[in-house]
Amino acid sequence: MSNSIIKPQKGISRRSVLQAMGATAGAGLALQAMPGFVRYSQAGTSEPVKIGLQLHRTGIGASYGRWYERVTAAAVKVINDGGGINGRPVEVIIEDDGTDPKRGAEVVEKFATQHKVDVAYGTLFSHVVIGSAPRAGELKMPYVVVSEGHHVASGKLNRYVFQPGITDVRSQVIAMAPWISKNLGKKVTMIFPDFAFGHDHRDYFSEAIKAQGGEVAGLIAIPPTESSFTRYLPQISSSTEVLYHVMVGPAVLTFVKELGQFFGSTRPQIFGFIDSLEAVDLATPQLEFLEGTYFWEGNPRYAQKDQTEYDKFYREMVGVDANGASASDPKDISTYSHMFGCWESLFAIKQAMEASGYEGQTPKDKQGFIEAMEAIQKFDEGREHPQGDKIFNGKNHQCYGHQNISKVTGGRLELVHRTAIEDGLYEVSADYTKMSL
Contact residues toward other proteins (CB under 8 A) are 57-60, 62-63, 65-66, 223, 225-228, 230-234, 238, 250-251, 253-254, 258, 261-264, 279, 284-286
CB of 192 to other proteins, least distance (A): 15
In the complex with other proteins, the residue whose CB is nearer, 22 or 59, is 59
Shortest separation between residue 227's beta carbon and other proteins, angstroms: 5
Indicate the residue among 228 and 362 with the shorter CB distance to other proteins.
228
From the CB of 4, what's the least distance to other proteins, in Å? 20
Q: Which is nearer to other proteins, 78 or 233 (CB)?
A: 233
Q: CB-wise, 214 or 249, nearer to other proteins? A: 249
Nearer to other proteins, 85 or 287 (CB): 287
Compute the distance between CA of residue 429 and CA of residue 154 in angstroms, rounded to an integer.
Answer: 7
Do 243 and 293 contact (CB within 8 A), yes or no?
Answer: no
CB nearer other proteins, residue 255 or residue 400: 255
> CA-to-CA distance for 267 and 248, rounded, in angstroms?
22
CB of 193 to other proteins, least distance (A): 14
β-pairing, 390-393 vs 398-400, is: antiparallel
The b-or-e profile of 160-184 (16+ CB within 10 A means b, else e) is: bbbbbbbbbbbbbbbbbbbbbbeeb
User: Minimum distance between the CB of residue 402 and other proteins, rounded to whole angstroms?
Assistant: 30
**Closer by beta carbon to other proteins, 56 or else 150:** 56
Backbone angles phi, psi at 190, to 5 degrees: -110, 135
Minimum separation from the CB atom of position 45 to other proteins (A): 39
Closer Cβ to other proteins, 250 or 382, answer by number: 250
Least separation in angstroms between residue 261's CB and other proteins is 5
Q: How far is the CB of 253 from other proteins (least distance, A)?
A: 6
C-alpha span between 124 and 108 (Å, rounded): 14
Compute the distance between CA of residue 377 and CA of residue 395 in angstroms, rounded to an integer: 10
